[in-house]
Structure 1
Amino acid sequence: MSTIQFKEVNCKNCYKCVRSCPVKAISLKNDHAQVIEEECVFCGKCLQVCPQNAKSVKNDVEKVKGFADKKLKIYASIAPSFMAAFNLQDLRQAYSVFKKLGFTYIEETAVGASAVSAEYQKLLEKKQMKNIITTACPTIVSLIEKHYPELIEQMAPVVSPMVAHGKMLKELYGSRIKVVFIGPCLSKKQECKELEEDVLDAVITFEELEQWMKDENLSFDSTEEAELKNIEFNFNARYYPTPGGIIKSLGSPKKHNYKLMKFDGLDRCIEVLEQLRNDKVKDYFIEMNSCRGACLGGTCMNSENPGYLIMRERLLEYAHKSSLSHNTIMEYDREISLTKAFKNKSNSYIVPEDKIIEDILSKIGKYTKEQELNCGACGYMTCRDKAVAVYNKKAELHMCVPYMRERAESISNVIINSTPNAIFAVTEELTVQEANMAARRLFNLECEELQNRSIFDILDCLDILTVNDTKQNILNSKYTYLKYNVVVEQSILYLKENHMLMIVMKDITKDEKQNQKLNKVRSETIEIAQKVIDKQMRVAQEIASLLGETTAETKVALTKLKKSMQVEMGEEI
């Protein structure tokens, strides 16, 4: 399992982790960040800057609980910064809490640091190295092994205090015990993971310890103090968590030719390593810490710590209180090797020829030097650095924020200006912010400057004022702009998030004119039909009238004829 883990679901393509990573050991795959473990120095900067909590640290608490469940003996090696972070006056105050968590015994890592300082002292006295780079920081070790391998020969070939103390504990109490380091450092987890010797079994950060104690309802507020074994060692080793702590632990070394220098902060350390690599610098004894403020600025400090200034004051007071001038290690005066062989772990990183870099840049619209903005939004200092990262499959083309924005705006403009609907964007002050080509054509505004003009200079529609006042949309209403002899079907929308109005119009002038013609034809047809009906009614009435008269005359005539015939036949009438 990786020391730093990413939650893909939370990664939002902000590239903050890429920008913050001093060695660019983060790649983007399918829009999600991934740690390149072969290049990572585990400084924890990506954890600190991630706004989405997309990264987490491998947690060993459950592993240590497992040791306790199996009734194994667990020894804690506690970093000197512990006293400052948790505001304790003496390590004995913490013993009862660790007992309740399942630990057998606790001891200061400063015991191991004292032995390491003794090894540094020997290197100074031998005067055989060009420069001596010393550190208790695994991040600095990884930085040199992976990114400055040519400086490995200038590293003091000595293990870290954590490893030294682990060796001592297992030598004294037996190899079957479990040793757990407690400290403020993320990279100690990686150092433990990479150990080839079985001298350390787990690493718990101050953050993890604090949470574990909360889960168990424990605190260091108790005044109960346990008796711890009195071990004599160089108490100046308690200064290790501060910048220059290694140098201070050397006391007053015999005269030597080395200039003693200290540097903290990864950027400054990288700057010094660059100079050591490129310049003929020699006779320096250099102490390095990746965190500003050394271990007191660790990335995994507990939440209750009061900040660097107070913690430094607490640590100095604690270290000074019991400081001794000698380097005797009574309990651990045994044959234990503290030598360390560093390895070249550099990863192949190919810088392609200029033509390939230019081809990559051209794919994101950068054809000239002037188009290379070098804004750093993608996480890389220059566009060319980013192109090299793309070539090495560490970055993706679309990580270029200005290009993607320009492209999005371009596509948006194409869509808006291609639509046949007229669109006006209007501010809450009712001034025109933008109008598309269809709007300009519809209202004969092609040659006019519209921005910041009042919308009422162009459109005399009171619905615009209504929507702006009420914030309620008016949709699909028909409106006639007599000034332009234009009829539109329009929707006026209030965009709350943008604090503006959008007016969308469909030109229905031709449809309206066609409808008017059809209506006129219909009216004329109805009128003609009515006239025909009226005429037919008159004719019918006239015919009816004539039929009535002729029928009456016929009746009279026939009646007379009937009577005359009856007379002739001698019938009585």
Structure 2
Amino acid sequence: MSIIQFKEANCKNCYKCIRSCPVKAIAFINDQARIVEEDCMLCGNCLTVCPQNAKIVKSEVDTVKGFIRKKEKVYVSLAPSFVSAFENADEVWLYAALKKLGFTYIEETAVGAAQVSKKYDQLIKEKKMKNIITSACPSITLLVQKYYPELVDQLAPVVSPMIAHGKMLREMYGPRIKVVFIGPCLSKKDECNDLQTRGVIDAAITFEELDAWLLEEGITDDIDLTDEIKGVRELRARIYPVPGGIIKTLESRNNKNYQCLSVDGVERCIKILDSIKNDGLENYFIEMNSCSGGCIGGPCMKHIKGGFLEARRRLLTYLKRGLKEEKLVSTRDSKVDLKRNFFDMQKKGAVPSESAIQGILNSIGKFTADKELNCGACGYSSCRDKAIAVYNNRAQLHMCLPYMRERAESMSNLIINTTPNAIFALNEKLCIQEANYSAQKIFGLNKSSLEGKSIFEVLECGDFQFVIDSKKNIYDEKYYYEKYDMTVTQSIIYVPDQNIVVVVIKDITDEERQIQKMHKIREENVELAQKVIEKQMRVAQEIASLLGETTAETKVALTKLKKSIMSEMGDVK
């Protein structure tokens, strides 16, 4: 499971995370960002820049709570930058708060940092390495192993202060204890699971996670502050979190074997590594920290009011105060093995041919070099880099914003200017801002003289004023413009976001004339039919009259005949 995770619903395709990622270890698949774990150096830049808070950090707080519930002995390795993370609480309060959460023992990671500095001193004195790049920052060691494998032998073969301190705690209190690191660092979560150091640190939680946990438990300033505070023998090691802090802890910092240099921030570290790789720099002891401002600028640092300057001031004040308080000094030393090996972890993606790259560029309208804007909006530094990412299924074609905008604009213009309907865009004063080709043609207008002209100078209709005043739309209303002898159906739509009115007019004059012609024909046909009916009725009446007279006469004759016959029958009898 990835340490950095994305909330799918929140990713808005702004590509800010890719732009901020120094190694482009983010892929976009189906419009959703994904961390490419094998390439990620866990610098945390994508966390801090995401405007949608779409990225979250895998939490191990529940794991630590489980240790405590099971009555395990849980020891804390506390990064000294804690004094810069909790604005209204000093170290005494935080130690007591951690005890209240259920931790068995709390000690500063600076205990391990002091031992790491001794190893660095030894490497400087031996002068066996071309350059010495500090290995205290896990993100830097990942960067070198994944992207500068040829410089792996220049990483100091020493564990980080966290691992050193974890080993020392287990050396003193037994291997069965649980050790939890608390600090501002994201990559420490990954370092806990490194094959070489697995089992030394059982879990790592951030200051932000700790703060949320304290709030959840309702732990406030009103707690028992009687617990003894444990310190370190080498109090200078508390300065590790600030740029140049490691160098200041070295006994041999003014040596002649190596020139000491401090570099913080991923971009600057990459530039230095490029110089070492390409320019053959030698005899440098380089303190590298991926976070700008050192550990007190970490991605999971609980930032306080005053920012970096206040965080640095609080840490230096804590260091100076500790130097004066003998009760904080511990005389413990250690003989644990602090050796660490580093390896080539580079994963090379497929390298497309020049024709494949050009084919991808052509598919987004970049047929010539001048079309390759290299604007960086997609997150990649050049159009070619983005094309390579597309080839490796890490990016999508439509991530090119200039191309998509140009395409959208051309499609919109094509639709608007080819529709047979007249379209006007009016501002809040009902002055014409835009009129499409059909509007100009239908009403015999000249585009050059249209802009800024009142719609009432073109079309006399009170509905425009009604819509802008009432903000109520009118749809498909039939209207006759006497000036143009034209019948239309028009929709007048208010757009609140832009405070404009859009008018869509369909000329139905020919249809209306055809309807009127057909109506006249129908009226004539009805009149003709009525005349025929009336004539037929008269004929029918005349026929009926004649039939009535002849029937009466026939009846009289037959009656007489009947009587005559009956009379004759009576005589016979």
Q: Shift in Å at residue 517 of structure 1?
A: 2.4
CA contact (8 A) 2:183 2:206 kept: yes
- For the pair 1:207 / 2:208, whether they are aligned, the reply is yes
Which amino acid is the alignment partner of residue 33 of structure 2?
A
Equivalence for 2:365: 365
Change (3 A) 1:465 1:219: same
Equivalence for 1:548: none
CA contact (8 A) 2:29 2:396 kept: yes
Equivalence for 1:224: 225
Which amino acid is the alignment partner of residue 48 of structure 2?
Q
- For the pair 1:262 / 2:262, whether they are aligned, the reply is yes
CA contact (8 A) 1:93 1:226 kept: no
CA contact (8 A) 2:124 2:252 kept: no
Change (3 A) 1:147 1:522: same
CA contact (8 A) 1:20 1:45 kept: yes
- Aligned pairs (5 A) from 1:268-279: 268-279=268-279
Tell me, in whole angstroms, the C-alpha distance in 1 between the residues paired with 2:354 and 2:232: 62
Q: Shift in Å at residue 372 of structure 1?
A: 1.4
Q: Shift in Å at residue 438 of structure 1?
A: 3.1
**Greater Cα offset, 313-322 or 379-388:** 313-322
Tell me, in whole angstroms, the C-alpha distance in 2 between the residues paired with 1:311 and 1:444: 70
Q: Shift in Å at residue 370 of structure 1?
A: 1.5
Tell me, in whole angstroms, the C-alpha distance in 1 between the residues paired with 2:305 and 2:147: 33
- Aligned pairs (5 A) from 1:66-105: 66-86=66-86, 91-105=91-105
**Greater Cα offset, 156-165 or 459-468:** 459-468
Tell me, in whole angstroms, the C-alpha distance in 1 between the residues paired with 2:365 and 2:255: 61
Equivalence for 1:386: 386
| Aligned CA-pair RMSD | 2.8
**Greater Cα offset, 346-355 or 531-540:** 531-540
Secondary structure of 1:193's counterpart equals: coil
Equivalence for 1:546: none
User: What CA deviation, in whole Å up to 9, does each residue of 1:375-408 have, x standing for no partner?
Assistant: 2111111111111111121111111112122222
CA contact (8 A) 2:110 2:232 kept: no
CA contact (8 A) 1:427 1:499 kept: yes
If the length of structure 1 is used for normalisation, what is the TM-score? 0.87
Tell me, in whole angstroms, the C-alpha distance in 2 between the residues paired with 1:176 and 1:533: 114
**Greater Cα offset, 111-120 or 53-62:** 53-62
Change (3 A) 1:332 1:87: farther
Which amino acid is the alignment partner of residue 168 of structure 1?
M
Which amino acid is the alignment partner of residue 20 of structure 2?
S
Which amino acid is the alignment partner of residue 359 of structure 1?
G
Change (3 A) 1:171 1:447: closer
CA contact (8 A) 1:424 1:434 kept: yes
If the length of structure 2 is used for normalisation, what is the TM-score? 0.87
Q: Shift in Å at residue 527 of structure 1?
A: 7.0
Which amino acid is the alignment partner of residue 299 of structure 1?
P
Equivalence for 1:116: 116
Tell me, in whole angstroms, the C-alpha distance in 2 between the residues paired with 1:314 and 1:418: 67
User: What CA deviation, in whole Å up to 9, does each residue of 1:280-314 have, x standing for no partner?
Assistant: 21111111111111011111112546421112111
User: What CA deviation, in whole Å up to 9, does each residue of 1:61-97 have, x standing for no partner?
Assistant: 1000111111111000000111232258864443322
CA contact (8 A) 1:135 1:289 kept: no
Tell me, in whole angstroms, the C-alpha distance in 2 between the residues paired with 1:293 and 1:201: 28
User: What CA deviation, in whole Å up to 9, does each residue of 1:437-492 have, x standing for no partner?
Assistant: 33333223477664444323332223222222222222222222233222111121
Tell me, in whole angstroms, the C-alpha distance in 2 between the residues paired with 1:389 and 1:254: 46
CA contact (8 A) 2:125 2:257 kept: no
Secondary structure of 1:107's counterpart equals: strand
Tell me, in whole angstroms, the C-alpha distance in 2 between the residues paired with 1:92 and 1:469: 65
Change (3 A) 1:539 1:367: same
**Greater Cα offset, 506-515 or 411-420:** 411-420
Tell me, in whole angstroms, the C-alpha distance in 2 between the residues paired with 1:480 and 1:89: 77
| Identity level (%) | 55
Change (3 A) 1:333 1:523: closer
CA contact (8 A) 2:133 2:288 kept: yes
Change (3 A) 1:303 1:127: closer
Tell me, in whole angstroms, the C-alpha distance in 2 between the residues paired with 1:383 and 1:51: 24
Equivalence for 1:6: 6
Q: Shift in Å at residue 338 of structure 1?
A: 0.6
**Greater Cα offset, 281-290 or 479-488:** 479-488
Unaligned runs of 5+ in 2: 543-573
Tell me, in whole angstroms, the C-alpha distance in 1 between the residues paired with 2:359 and 2:373: 17
Secondary structure of 1:323's counterpart equals: helix
Equivalence for 1:517: 517
User: What CA deviation, in whole Å up to 9, does each residue of 1:233-271 have, x standing for no partner?
Assistant: 211101101110000011455732211111111111111
Tell me, in whole angstroms, the C-alpha distance in 2 between the residues paired with 1:131 and 1:120: 12
- Aligned pairs (5 A) from 1:435-454: 435-445=435-445, 450-454=450-454
Equivalence for 2:310: 310
Equivalence for 2:569: none
Secondary structure of 2:191's counterpart equals: helix
CA contact (8 A) 2:87 2:304 kept: no
Equivalence for 2:334: 333
Equivalence for 1:423: 423
Tell me, in whole angstroms, the C-alpha distance in 1 between the residues paired with 2:426 and 2:255: 79
User: What CA deviation, in whole Å up to 9, does each residue of 1:75-123 have, x standing for no partner?
Assistant: 0000011123225886444332222212110111000000000000001
CA contact (8 A) 1:86 1:305 kept: no
Tell me, in whole angstroms, the C-alpha distance in 2 between the residues paired with 1:525 and 1:354: 77
Equivalence for 2:564: none
Which amino acid is the alignment partner of residue 205 of structure 1?
T
CA contact (8 A) 1:114 1:249 kept: yes
- For the pair 1:240 / 2:240, whether they are aligned, the reply is yes
User: What CA deviation, in whole Å up to 9, does each residue of 1:16-57 have, x standing for no partner?
Assistant: 111111110000111100000111111111111112221110
Tell me, in whole angstroms, the C-alpha distance in 1 between the residues paired with 2:85 and 2:483: 76
Secondary structure of 1:322's counterpart equals: helix
Tell me, in whole angstroms, the C-alpha distance in 2 between the residues paired with 1:382 and 1:221: 56
Which amino acid is the alignment partner of residue 138 of structure 2?
P
Unaligned runs of 5+ in 1: 544-573
Which amino acid is the alignment partner of residue 497 of structure 1?
D
Tell me, in whole angstroms, the C-alpha distance in 2 between the residues paired with 1:358 and 1:536: 86
CA contact (8 A) 2:135 2:157 kept: no
CA contact (8 A) 1:145 1:346 kept: yes
Q: Shift in Å at residue 174 of structure 1?
A: 0.9
Tell me, in whole angstroms, the C-alpha distance in 2 between the residues paired with 1:408 and 1:448: 25
Change (3 A) 1:151 1:221: farther
**Greater Cα offset, 214-223 or 387-396:** 214-223
CA contact (8 A) 1:78 1:109 kept: yes
Change (3 A) 1:84 1:522: closer
Tell me, in whole angstroms, the C-alpha distance in 2 between the residues paired with 1:306 and 1:145: 36
Tell me, in whole angstroms, the C-alpha distance in 2 between the residues paired with 1:92 and 1:489: 78
Which amino acid is the alignment partner of residue 199 of structure 1?
V
Q: Shift in Å at residue 136 of structure 1?
A: 1.9
CA contact (8 A) 1:172 1:332 kept: no
Q: Shift in Å at residue 212 of structure 1?
A: 0.4
